[in-house]
Amino acid sequence: MKNRSSTLREAIEEMIAIGQLPPGAHLDETVLAGQFGVSRTPIREALIQLASMGLIVIRPRRGAVVAEISPQQLVEMFEVMAELEAMCARLAARRMSPQEHQSLLSAHHACEQARDAQDPDAYFYKNEEFHALLYSGSHNVFLTGQALALQRRLRPYRRLQLRVRDRIASSFSEHDGIVNAIIAGDADAAMTLLREHVVVQGQRFADLIASLPLLATMSGSTQSTNQS
């Protein structure tokens, strides 16, 4: 069972991911404690956990703020994310079992339903589940942990990408090729397709940077968090 600080950490992480707490936002322990109906101690512990993940920055005598990423850092982080996921795809194509293939197909179908419903929030969560199955399908615990850690760091920005026009349709189409390559056991194709799916460059990067102000205005109901 998760302790209270871990549950709070996940709730605050979700608020960051959906833009309720945008980059640069101040995190007041007293305000958060009142919002969640707890004392400041578990809030402080949750903030320390978030700082260790790189999602927030705790400044001595100045409090905590949601971490900001420069455009250069953002593209570098997406480059690393693309390589980590490409490694996962290559190993998953070699190691996933038939049962895991069925789980991946089910997650792919859930993404399709969210796409057809034109629901970017639903697609965001189903997309995370899809990628998490690719990580675990690598059957490399260390690699899976590294991929999940960086995925968490980039959650607000990966979600924001889905707000760019036609990105959900493109994302699902790219998933389709990845799924087919993995089920066919084509490790090289799976690796290449997933790398191209994640990396942001050219027009995709320009669209992402132009959309960054939306992080301050994006809204959505705060999920209770075990969806990442």
User: How does pLDDT run across 57-82, given as a tens digit for each residue?
Assistant: 998 877 899 988 888 888 899 999 99
Confidence of residue 4 (pLDDT cuts 50, 70, 90): confident
pLDDT at residue 222 in the model:
36
Mean pLDDT of 136-164: 91
Max CA distance (Å), the chain: 56
Confidence of residue 228 (pLDDT cuts 50, 70, 90): very low
The mean of the pLDDT values for the chain is 88
The CATH superfamily of 71-216 is GntR ligand-binding domain-like (1.20.120.530)
pLDDT at residue 217 in the model:
61
pLDDT at residue 47 in the model:
94
| Three-class SS of 153-220 | HHHHHHHHHCCCCCHHHHHHHHHHHHHHHHHHCCHHHHHHHHHHHHCCCHHHHHHHHHHHHHHHCCCC
Q: Is the pLDDT of residue 1 over 70?
A: no
CB 77 within 8 A of CB 69: yes
Q: What angle do CA 184, 189, 195 make, to 5 degrees?
A: 130
Distance (Å, rounded) from C-alpha 202 to C-alpha 56? Answer: 28
The CATH 1.10.10.10 portion of the chain extends over 4-66
The CATH 1.20.120.530 portion of the chain extends over 71-216
4-66 CATH = 1.10.10.10
